Amino acid sequence: MSPTPSPNPNPSPTMPPRHHPGEELLLAHAAGTLGAGPGLIVAVHLEACGACRALVAALEVAGGVMMAELPPVPMSSLALERALAAIERPGAVAVAVTGAGAVTGAVAAPKVPAGLELPLALRGRDVGPWRWLAPGMRWSRVAVPEAPRANVVLMRGRPDRLLPAHGHRGSEFTQVLCGAIYDGDVRYGPGDMFVADDATHHHLRVADEGECLCIAAIEGRMRMSGLIGRIVQPLVGP
Amino acid sequence: MSATEGPAAGAPAAGAPAAGAPAAGARAGDEWSVALLAVARGRDRRAFAALFAHFAPRVKAFMMRAGMAPAAAEEIAQEAMLAVWRKAELFDAARASAATWIFAIARNLRIDAARREGRANACLDHDGDGLLTPDPAPMGDALLLCAEREGAVRAALAALPEEQAAIIRLSFFEEQPHGQIARQLHIPLGTVKSRVRLAVARLRKALEERP
Ligand SMILES: [Zn+2]
């Protein structure tokens, strides 16, 4: 809580997010047991959310404690010698890093539509071309080469458009990058993350305040019906 | 951050802590952090050897507990310690202790290993991730998990009821955490989830109560 709330009636990207990944997701992220797709969405949320970053940092402390509490298993007798030899080899020291921008190294910029700034977590990843999804809605695939079965997409919608009604067989993890989206009466703005599980059948509508951009990881298959469902099939995957 | 009691920060230890010397507790973490800083700043091999003696067997234990064969676990522990040497400059003692930072390295190597199991060539550089990078958004002290906050988290963790601590522990070790944990402990999935929520809420509270 900020001690001096600034009188800012307009939601802006600088406002802290209101909808966060649940405790279980943050714990799985800290433990490294979350799948690549959802893990990427949580990483994007963390960039936008100081509160969740602090909590994940606390959970990483817990991880360190849990690891330290395990009865140590002795290394083989030559292990330290091997390590000391390895660190003498050239290239054993990383180049000094001076800032966040220096970390990722020289990866070709992904093909991103003009005017779109991708989160750091997506840096160095291929982003496919925009494809038609529904009237006023487009999508594009985000490459997850380390887990080819992960299904991660960017979705872009014009104000007041509806995403075709759909249900789920797995979960869908969505993070709003800009604009806002309504699921019924609930508004998800920039930085907000929400999860739809197999019990959810949602009707998503882009708010009328501007174009909306989301990133989503889709697990399992979406259940679609009718013409729109067939059109959307490419997004659902093979 | 507030002044630390005990040895002045910025006065690097004359030598690294002798292997196994630090007792359990918050102070011990600080000594390992000093050793890690000695590696970062001075490429101190003695400090590295001490870190190796302490952490390599624990990383190995962590990997084995997660289901890895001893030889593979030893290999990952080696890799982790080499990463400690290579990435030591990225260590920021204001954000985490050495124990937390090395856990993050080990965890990322475990993720890579799990993905390699599924398919070849699945290695992704985790340099863009969390503790292993400079803070992407250093927005202020509120976000810094300094040594004192880390101490608060450790205290909250130690105070957890055993049934909650057990679930947190298993969450770090099992690959498919919550369904598996529920079966293993013969409790409903909903109970596992609510214990996770309760435990994490306590850690959150510990963070918020710090000045
Ligand atoms: Zn959050």
CATH of the domain at B73: 1.10.1740.10
Domain spans of chain A?
103-236
List the alpha helices (DSSP H) in B18-146. Answer: 26-42, 45-65, 70-87, 98-118
Q: What local confidence, expressed as pLDDT, does residue A170 receive?
A: 77
Query: Is residue B204 pLDDT above 80, yes or no?
Result: yes
Which of A23, A43, A73 is closest, CB to CB, to B200?
Answer: A23
Could you list the residue range(s) of the whole structural domain that residue B61 is in?
1-117
- Closest-CA distance, A131 to chain B, in angstroms, reads 27
Strands A137-142 and A204-206: unpaired
Domain assignment present for residue B22? The answer is yes
How would CATH label the architecture of A103-236? Answer: Sandwich (2.60)
Q: How confident is the model at residue A103 (pLDDT cuts 50, 70, 90)?
A: very low
Q: How confident is the model at residue B209 (pLDDT cuts 50, 70, 90)?
A: confident
Number of domains in chain B: 1
Q: What is the pLDDT of residues A41-56, one digit of tens each?
A: 999 999 999 999 989 9
Query: Across the beta sheet with A222-223, what order do the strands follow?
Result: A201-202, A166-168, A222-223
Q: What local confidence, expressed as pLDDT, does residue B120 receive?
A: 41
Q: What local confidence, expressed as pLDDT, does residue A129 receive?
A: 86
Q: What is the pLDDT of residues B160-192, one digit of tens each?
A: 999 999 999 989 987 766 788 888 889 998 999
- Closest-CA distance, B172 to chain A, in angstroms, reads 5
Neighbours of A5 (CB within 10 A): 7
Q: What local confidence, expressed as pLDDT, does residue B142 receive?
A: 31
Q: What local confidence, expressed as pLDDT, does residue A184 receive?
A: 84
Q: Would you say the ipTM is above 0.85?
A: no
Long-range contacts of residues A96-103, Cβ cutoff 8 Å, at least 24 apart: A96/B89, A97/B89, A97/B90, A97/B133, A97/B134, A99/B134, A100/B133, A100/B134, A100/B135, A100/B136, A103/B127, A103/B128, A103/B133, A103/B134
Instruction: Check CB contact of B77 with chain A, cutoff 8 Å.
Output: yes
Helix axes B162-173, A23-31, angle to 10 degrees: 50
Q: What is the pLDDT of residues B85-101, one digit of tens each?
A: 999 999 888 788 899 99
- Closest-CA distance, A55 to chain B, in angstroms, reads 6
Domain assignment present for residue B191? The answer is no
Tell me if A146 and B115 make a contact (CB, 8 A cut-off).
Answer: yes
Q: How many angstroms separate the CA atoms of B64 and B193, rounded? A: 25
Instruction: Check CB contact of B146 with chain A, cutoff 8 Å.
Output: no
Mean predicted lDDT score pLDDT of chain B? 77
Mean predicted lDDT score pLDDT of chain A? 78
Query: Is residue A62 pLDDT above 90, yes or no?
Result: yes
Domain assignment present for residue B137? The answer is no
Q: What local confidence, expressed as pLDDT, does residue A17 receive?
A: 94
Q: How confident is the model at residue A91 (pLDDT cuts 50, 70, 90)?
A: low
Query: Is residue B140 pLDDT above 50, yes or no?
Result: no
Q: How confident is the model at residue B208 (pLDDT cuts 50, 70, 90)?
A: confident
- Region of B203 on the Ramachandran plot (φ > 0 left; ψ -120 to 50 alpha; else beta): alpha
Q: What is the pLDDT of residues A197-214, one digit of tens each?
A: 766 666 788 998 888 999
Higher pLDDT, B205 or A110: B205
Query: Is residue B36 pLDDT above 50, yes or no?
Result: yes
Which of A22, A58, A97 is closest, CB to CB, to B145?
Answer: A58
Query: Is residue B128 pLDDT above 60, yes or no?
Result: no
Q: What is the pLDDT of residues A76-90, one digit of tens each?
A: 999 999 999 999 887
Domain assignment present for residue B178? The answer is no
Q: Which two tokens stand for residue A152?
A: 């991660």
Query: Is residue A126 pLDDT above 70, yes or no?
Result: yes
Domain assignment present for residue B159? The answer is no
Dmax over CA atoms of chain B, in Å, equals: 53
Instruction: Supply the Cα-derived Rg of chain B in whole angstroms.
Output: 18
Tell me if A146 and B139 make a contact (CB, 8 A cut-off).
Answer: no
Q: What is the pLDDT of residues A171-189, one digit of tens each?
A: 889 999 988 999 888 999 9
Number of residues that make up chain A: 238
Which of B45, B108, B196 is closest, CB to CB, to A32?
Answer: B108
Higher pLDDT, B83 or B139: B83
Query: Is residue A139 pLDDT above 50, yes or no?
Result: yes
Q: How many angstroms separate the CA atoms of B59 and B92, rounded? A: 20
Q: What local confidence, expressed as pLDDT, does residue B81 receive?
A: 97
For ligand 1, the distance from its centroid to the CA atom of residue B79, given in whole angstroms, is 32
Query: Is residue B114 pLDDT above 90, yes or no?
Result: no
Q: What local confidence, expressed as pLDDT, does residue B207 receive?
A: 80
